[in-house]
Amino acid sequence: MNPPIFKNKILCSLEPEIIERLQLRSLQLPSGREVENPGEPIDNLIFIEEGIGSMTTTFGDGFQVEVGLFGYESVMGASALIGTRRSLNKVYMQMAGYGFACRMDYGIAEFGRFERFHDLVLRYVQALLIQACQSAGCNTHHNISQRLARWLLLCGDRSESHILPLTHEYLADMLGSNRSTVSVAAEHLQNAGLIQYSRGKVIILDRLGLEKRACECYRVVKDHLDNYLEVDQD
């Protein structure tokens, strides 16, 4: 039997015997599905094959802002492998897809071997930290139009599509802003011929133009996520 072919960057970098020990099970990931909630145990590792997940920090008044995106390069729940008992953030699916789940006890056992899986997870956690740090700086330094362009490009990279099913509410939450401000920023990008924006959907029309409009943070995050597995490649 041929080994399974994965799109997830971590899974496709693992040897068949590691995949077998993880005892993966297929998982549908509909839009809006909650993966983690603050204060709740993290029961599974989730490897996205298609779709986009979002990690947000939520405040007491209900305001939330995105601090991380998950796509086919990721493993959700990795913080539990390095000692986090309960989630500190809300994690949910922003765009529908599917993936594979691994029970946390199997993941912890494999991580404790200090072999390939251990090394890849730590590299991914570092990449996620860089993404969160860059987002924090971006949210305070760059204007809403630049941030929207950055975020749409990162979503396009992960979905491998120029059509993004995103509502006004999602856009506002992701950028830590209100719907009216995001709508004005989206209108500016649309008037420039970079996107087509309607209720519940964004179409990227001019990717190169959108990259020029985005802040430097897009390239920093993209380059690191694209290359975080290449450290030990000869």
Which residue, chain included where needed, has tokens 């995105």? 66
Residue 233 banded pLDDT, cuts 50, 70, 90: very low
Instruction: Work out the mean pLDDT of the chain and round it to a whole number.
Output: 89
Distance CA 63, CA 179 (A): 12
CATH classification at residue 80 = 2.60.120.10
Question: Which of these three, 105, 138, 171, is where a domain ends?
Answer: 138
Q: Is 59 exposed, middle or buried (0-12, 13-18, 19+ CB in 10 A)?
A: exposed
Q: Give per-residue pLDDT as tens, 84-96.
A: 889 989 999 999 9
Decide if 94 is inside a domain. Answer: yes
Verify that 118 and 168 share a domain, yes or no: no
- 205-209, long-range: CB within 8 Å, 24+ apart, which pairs? 205/162, 207/153, 207/156, 207/162
Decide if 229 is inside a domain. Answer: no
CATH classification at residue 205 = 1.10.10.10
Distance CA 26, CA 22 (A): 12
Q: At 229, which amino acid appears?
A: L
Distance CA 164, CA 155 (A): 8
Domain of 86, in residue numbers: 11-138
Decide if 234 is inside a domain. Answer: no
Does residue 28 register a pLDDT over 90? yes
pLDDT at position 223 is: 85
pTM tops 0.85: yes
Verify that 19 and 103 share a domain, yes or no: yes
Does residue 2 register a pLDDT over 60? no
